[in-house]
Amino acid sequence: MSADVAVLLLALLVGVTGVVGALAVRSEHDWHVPSPTSLRESLHRHRRAILQHLALTLVLVAILVAFTHFENPEELWRRIEEANGWWLLAGVGFEVLSFVGYIALFRGLFVLGLPKMGWRASAEVTLAGVVATRLFATAGAGGIALTGWALHAAGMAARETARGVASFLVILYASYFATLAVVSLLLLTGILSGAHAALAALGLLVGGGVIALALTALLVPGDLEARAKRVAAGQGRFAKLATRVSTVPAVLSEAVALAIERTRANVALLGWSLLWWIGDVAVLVVTFAAFGDVPAIGVIVFAYFLGHVGNALPIPGGVGGTEGGMIGVFVACGVDLSLAVVATLTYQVISVWLPVLPGVAGFASLRRRVRGWKAEDAAVGVPG
């Protein structure tokens, strides 16, 4: 199988994954991210959709592995048998370091004015968010919902919770898209080598486009929602559409402005954001080292950030979308197909699925903590 054919078919697989995943979600008309206080009831109510997602995940992984190694399975098994376990153990350590950055960023944003949200509570929210994200993916929607629930339970007003979570996401993903844009530009100009110009241009378009969109949102007038409401006072579809559409740039503008304000007050927040991504990229580096040669760092960083765009697909943990995207980029950059598959899938196990184990414990601990907060509030007469 030629590299070009492999890339084309993997790209097709990613596209089919998105369509099938979207249909699986849409098949349950009342599908939503459940409140953690009623997780058991929600899982029971949506068991059919969850089973569809799990089945889809297994099928996608099986197709990806079987198809890409149909002609030469011996090479895959040779790499697995000769894997260096010490490198894999180092990958677990880097993932722990990555989570330290995430927890520190979360606490750095929300500890002021929220005494209940200490280090332990911040860690529980982060780990519990992993479980929610894996079960109810689509760019981390499950984790976002759970984070908002925990912050509101800790005493933050609903409006401030929404603003805080939005600014948190802006700071976290500013590093992501900025790195993608910079590395793509370096590859496109030839300062770094290993990627085709068209692929590097795509990365620059995605990374630079998102950053430009976020900065442009700062130009949105502060009274946009008020103007839209005045328009909505009329009748017809246009009035309703104006109201709905106006909230998106208004929220984005406020989130970007608040993120800039908070990073100016505490520059360390950007450092914690970078630690989250650097630690996770390091996991990918050591999985390549465990199974064979490590590609150029520029190629790894580029494939990591561009491939993770597939995480926006509506399937559990981005399974299929993320792996297919990363493997396709690696192969297009000249990385051996068997090495790219085994290293990427192993990275996903360490980065995505191993944290689910402590995440379940964190979720249970967080629920007990929230019950304790509610009991304390009731004792002093704070409204629920």
Amino acid at 375: A
Is residue 62 included in any domain, yes or no?
yes
Q: Measured between alpha carbons, how far is 222 from 166 in angstroms, rounded to an integer?
A: 17
Query: What's phi and psi for 110, nearest 5 deg?
Result: -115, 0
Q: Measured between alpha carbons, how far is 2 from 152 in angstroms, rounded to an integer?
A: 53
Q: What is the DSSP string of 291-351?
A: HSPPPPHHHHHHHHHHHGGGGGSSSGGGTTHHHHHHHHHHHHTT--HHHHHHHHHHHHIII
Q: Measured between alpha carbons, how far is 140 from 123 in angstroms, rounded to an integer?
A: 17
Q: What is the pLDDT along the chain (384 residues), one digit of tens a residue?
A: 444 444 445 444 444 444 444 444 343 333 333 444 454 555 555 565 555 555 555 555 555 555 554 455 566 666 777 778 899 999 999 999 999 999 999 888 887 667 788 888 889 988 888 767 665 555 556 677 788 888 888 888 877 888 888 888 899 999 999 999 999 999 999 898 888 888 889 889 989 988 988 888 777 665 555 555 555 555 555 555 555 545 556 677 788 888 899 899 889 999 999 999 999 999 999 999 998 888 989 999 999 998 887 665 555 445 556 777 788 888 888 888 888 888 888 898 888 878 888 888 888 888 888 888 888 877 766 555
Is residue 244 included in any domain, yes or no?
yes
Is residue 384 included in any domain, yes or no?
no
Is residue 316 included in any domain, yes or no?
yes
The set of residues, in sequence order, having a beta carbon less than 8 Å from that of 375 and lying 6+ positions away, is: none
- Give the pTM: 0.74
Is residue 219 included in any domain, yes or no?
yes
Q: Measured between alpha carbons, how far is 380 from 255 in angstroms, rounded to an integer?
A: 33
When divided into structural domains, the chain yields a total of 1
Q: Domain range holding 45?
A: 3-379
